[in-house]
Chains A and B, each alone.
Chain A
Amino acid sequence: MTALVIAEHDNASLKGSTLNTVTAAAQCGGDVHVLVAGSNAGAAAAAAAQIAGVSKVIVADAAHFADGLAENVAEQVLAIAGAYSHILAPATAYGKNILPRVAAKLDVAQVSEITKVVSPDTFERPIYAGNAIATVQSSDKVKVITVRTTGFDAAAATGGSAATETAAAVADSGKSVFVGRELAKSDRPELTAAKVIVSGGRGMGSGEAFKILEPLADKLGAAMGASRAAVDAGFVPNDWQVGQTGKIVAPSLYIAVGISGAIQHLAGMKDSKVIVAVNKDPEAPIFSVADYGIVGDLFEVVPQLVAELG
């Protein structure tokens, strides 16, 4: 029994999500191999060989792997899939894009976003945006799995000494061309990767008012988010949205400001380790999930909080 992990990387380095996925793969019970499909990805492959618990790294290097196009990477996975009992990728934009193509071609039902390995064929995964946890068993010969990174600790990035082997690169599909990339220039962390998130809701009253949250986010090194109500009201752009139809987050600290706590918002943030709520309505549902609540006017409380944090 051997599990294959599809490494997420930018050719120069591995993404942290690969480490969480290796942990999940190891829990499936056998050896763990890592596929690095990239272009001039020697550095990423070397990093993969260092991960504790990885016994082999397979490198497929070709220009058409440079940008992780799903059509090409999925074909490469399929080219070596025969040797594996489990094929795993992180449930990030990268892994979610690639893995269902692999599953479909193998005629396998993929198990998405697992949060726990119960046994080599049984997994837990959240459904309904985390409002229920399903335990599912796969009867397929190969288990094809995406891994919710917040559900597994990162494997140690060093301490391993895996053998590295080269696989013949599959041909370019030619049907999809990478045009460009525009990474957010913000100094703030990404919402889904942030350790601290400061979010505002309808109670902010305007887009202008979100500026009051910026010093707080700066102090805490936090990402900024919003409830659907705030997005629908046009205060902030849609990609700030935390909730069932937005981003699902689980930071160490989530500060909800002027957010009443609609079901659809709670679904997106209730797995946060510590939740703080600031709201003037003492009956707001957000207080039922908050570890610490302050009842008061956010326009007074937030500046006080910034001052107190020093």
Chain B
Amino acid sequence: MKVLVPVKRVVDYNVKVRVKSDGTGVDIANVKMSMNPFDEIALEEAMRLKEAGKVAEVVAVSCGVTQAQETLRTGMAIGADRGILVETAVELEPLAVAKLLKAVAEKEQPQLIILGKQAIDDDSNQTGQMLAALLGWPQATFASKVVLEDGKVTVTREVDGGLETVALTLPAIVTTDLRLNEPRYVTLPNIMKAKKKPLDVTKPEDLGVDVTPRLKTLSVAEPAKRSAGIKVPDVATLVAKLRTEAKVI
């Protein structure tokens, strides 16, 4: 069985992004970029399925700029067997990514596609569900446990207030939540090995997909700043302030 894992290159989660002064976006020049943390969890899960002998091949795929090749190399250092980059300089919306992934999936014929539940840059939380709809596949979003057997995948999902379990007929889509696993660290020997793994580059035109954005970003602004607070000398003062000034208790 083949598993496809889409991975996105995003601003590293430890970086504090700055809004550009002209309000056109956030400044990502010379900022550390990494693999989206939820995608790392997706790849880790695919690797565990492979190591358990349930999956034969893990293919990492990314859509975006040339530098996303680095993200794919990281993916292959984690263990993916090969990488596919759909290269474009167009800023991709989740709908466009879902269409590109659909085209890749039709070529690769995976039985399972595992994605991060959302990317930490645009926070859309759409791509997996959109891809499932376009392929006509069932989906299990926000997974905290994945069991693959007998032609189906049983997934425990994190929902508001608890957990929910669904069983999906393959082929299917799974999107990952934080609790699913703890991704492994990438080791130097594996980084070296990853350099030799195959990485194919294709373009949206080759896949026959129109990636023109549908949404127009009119402006990007700093959120309202919190005014600096005060330090209180003791607990009694704190409780008094919470009761009479803030009125929250």
Q: What residues of chain A have their CB less than 8 Å away from a CB belonging to chain B?
A: 67, 69-71, 74, 91-94, 96-105, 107-113, 122, 126-140, 173-184, 190, 192-193, 196, 220, 237-239, 241, 244-246, 252-253, 262-264, 270-271, 273-276, 282, 287-295, 301, 304-305, 308-309
Q: List 20 A-B contacts (CB under 8 A).
A: A94-B159, A97-B139, A97-B141, A100-B133, A105-B134, A108-B214, A109-B94, A109-B95, A113-B125, A128-B17, A133-B223, A135-B217, A175-B138, A176-B168, A176-B169, A180-B165, A181-B165, A183-B162, A253-B248, A276-B238
Given the contacts A245-B120, A291-B246, A293-B231, A176 and B167 also touching, CB distance less than 8 Å: yes
Q: Is B149 an interface residue (CB 8 A)?
A: no
**Cβ contacts under 8 Å, B232 to chain A:** 292-294
Of A104, A181, A305, the contact of B235 (CB 8 Å cutoff)? A305
- Assess whether B121 is in contact with A127, with CB atoms less than 8 Å apart: yes
Given the contacts A179-B167, A180-B165, A135 and B219 also touching, CB distance less than 8 Å: yes
Closest 8 CB pairs of A and B: A100-B129, A183-B162, A109-B214, A104-B130, A101-B133, A175-B138, A176-B138, A100-B126
The total of chain B residues at the interface (CB under 8 A) is 80
Complex interface bits, B84-110 against A, C-beta within 8 A gives 1, otherwise 0: 000000000111001000000000000
In the bound complex, how far is the Cα of B168 from the Cα of A71, in angstroms? 11
**Cβ contacts under 8 Å, A127 to chain B:** 26, 121-123, 220
- Assess whether A132 is in contact with B17, with CB atoms less than 8 Å apart: yes
In the bound complex, how far is the Cα of B234 from the Cα of A291, in angstroms? 14
Determine how close the nearest CB of chain B comes to the CB of A244; give it in whole angstroms: 6
In the bound complex, how far is the Cα of B239 from the Cα of A55, in angstroms? 46
In the bound complex, how far is the Cα of B92 from the Cα of A200, in angstroms? 38
Main SS of chain B's interface residues? Answer: mixed
In the bound complex, how far is the Cα of B19 from the Cα of A92, in angstroms? 27
**Cβ contacts under 8 Å, A109 to chain B:** 93-95, 213-215
- Assess whether B139 is in contact with A110, with CB atoms less than 8 Å apart: no
- Assess whether B129 is in contact with A101, with CB atoms less than 8 Å apart: yes
Q: Is B132 an interface residue (CB 8 A)?
A: yes
Q: Is B161 an interface residue (CB 8 A)?
A: yes
- Assess whether B160 is in contact with A193, with CB atoms less than 8 Å apart: yes
Residues facing A in B1-26 (CB within 8 A) are: 11, 13-17, 19, 26
Q: Is B166 an interface residue (CB 8 A)?
A: yes
Closest to A290 in B: B229
Of A92, A139, A174, A274, the contact of B216 (CB 8 Å cutoff)? A139
Q: Is B37 an interface residue (CB 8 A)?
A: yes
Determine how close the nearest CB of chain A comes to the CB of B223; give it in whole angstroms: 5
Closest to A110 in B: B126
In the bound complex, how far is the Cα of B126 from the Cα of A177, in angstroms? 22
- Assess whether B133 is in contact with A136, with CB atoms less than 8 Å apart: no
**Cβ contacts under 8 Å, B37 to chain A:** 245
Given the contacts A133-B220, A274-B242, A301-B235, A292 and B94 also touching, CB distance less than 8 Å: no
Q: Is B52 an interface residue (CB 8 A)?
A: no
- Assess whether A253 is in contact with B242, with CB atoms less than 8 Å apart: yes
Complex interface bits, B55-77 against A, C-beta within 8 A gives 1, otherwise 0: 00000000000000000000000
- Known pairs A100-B94, A292-B231 / 6 extra A-B pairs, C-beta < 8 Å: A69-B166, A93-B158, A133-B222, A136-B216, A138-B214, A196-B249
Given the contacts A253-B242, A294-B235, A239 and B158 also touching, CB distance less than 8 Å: yes
**Cβ contacts under 8 Å, A102 to chain B:** 133
- Assess whether B121 is in contact with A181, with CB atoms less than 8 Å apart: no
Q: Is B184 an interface residue (CB 8 A)?
A: no
- Assess whether A289 is in contact with B216, with CB atoms less than 8 Å apart: no
- Assess whether A137 is in contact with B14, with CB atoms less than 8 Å apart: no
- Assess whether A292 is in contact with B238, with CB atoms less than 8 Å apart: yes
In the bound complex, how far is the Cα of B125 from the Cα of A282, in angstroms? 37
Given the contacts A275-B229, A291-B246, A136 and B126 also touching, CB distance less than 8 Å: no
- Assess whether A131 is in contact with B17, with CB atoms less than 8 Å apart: yes
In the bound complex, how far is the Cα of B94 from the Cα of A228, in angstroms? 27
- Assess whether A246 is in contact with B178, with CB atoms less than 8 Å apart: yes
Of B120, B133, B158, B169, the contact of A244 (CB 8 Å cutoff)? B120
Given the contacts A220-B249, A264-B14, A276-B238, A179 and B165 also touching, CB distance less than 8 Å: yes
Determine how close the nearest CB of chain B comes to the CB of A74; give it in whole angstroms: 7
**Cβ contacts under 8 Å, B216 to chain A:** 136-139
